[in-house]
A = this chain, B = another copy of it.
Amino acid sequence: MTDVSAPTAKERILATAYELFSKRAVRDVGVDELIRGSDVAIATFYRHFPSKNDVVLAFLQMREEVWTLGSIEGEARRRGDTPEEKLLAIFDVFDEWFHREDFEACPFVNILLEMKPGHPLTMACVRHLERIREMVAGLAEEAGLRDPAKMARSWHILMKGSIVSAAEGDQDAAKLAQDMARCLIQSHRG
């Protein structure tokens, strides 16, 4: 049953968190802005989330479902016909993503680099980035490629590198990455 009623306070908070943390650093988004944006009382905010960290963790979880599994894997699987083409379609999705004017880099990478090594958020990002590699490894295995795990690690380098390039302003970074990705597939076929 779909929720037709007005969004609850928690839903509003999560929606605002997704919007803000998607394109700005954790340290740059204050709790007050989070609260004002979701039109919620301060006490309500802290009833649902014991601390700011917990909202960020919830956001990261959401990001994985919406972005990693939805926008990327889902879309890539939908576009490509063969498993190999599904893999390469990742960079087609990236290409469109990079050309959006509200392009917002990758929160997993942003937060990973923003926090210190031991921080809970850092470790969460490492886990979520691992899931991306698992997703790629799955596609690589379906394509019958050799050593899917290693292949996914290399593939992920191309993904993250192109994202940083796009953050610098190179909107065509996905195409460059895709060329190298083709080469990578080739070398994992023999």
User: Which A residues are within 8 Å of any B CB, using their own CB?
Assistant: 24-25, 27-28, 105, 109-110, 112-116, 126, 129, 150, 153-154, 156-162, 164-165, 167-170, 173, 176-177, 179-180, 183-184, 186-187
Contact = CB atoms under 8 A, between A and B. Distances in A.
B176 A150 contact: yes
Contacts of A110: 113-114
Contacts of A116: 24, 28
21 contacts: A25-B115, A27-B27, A109-B113, A110-B113, A112-B168, A113-B114, A113-B167, A114-B114, A150-B176, A153-B170, A153-B173, A153-B176, A154-B176, A156-B161, A156-B165, A157-B164, A157-B177, A158-B161, A161-B161, A180-B184, A183-B184
Contacts of A129: 168
Contacts of A154: 176-177, 179-180
A135 to B, nearest CB: 15
Contacts of A184: 180, 183
Nearest to A25: B114
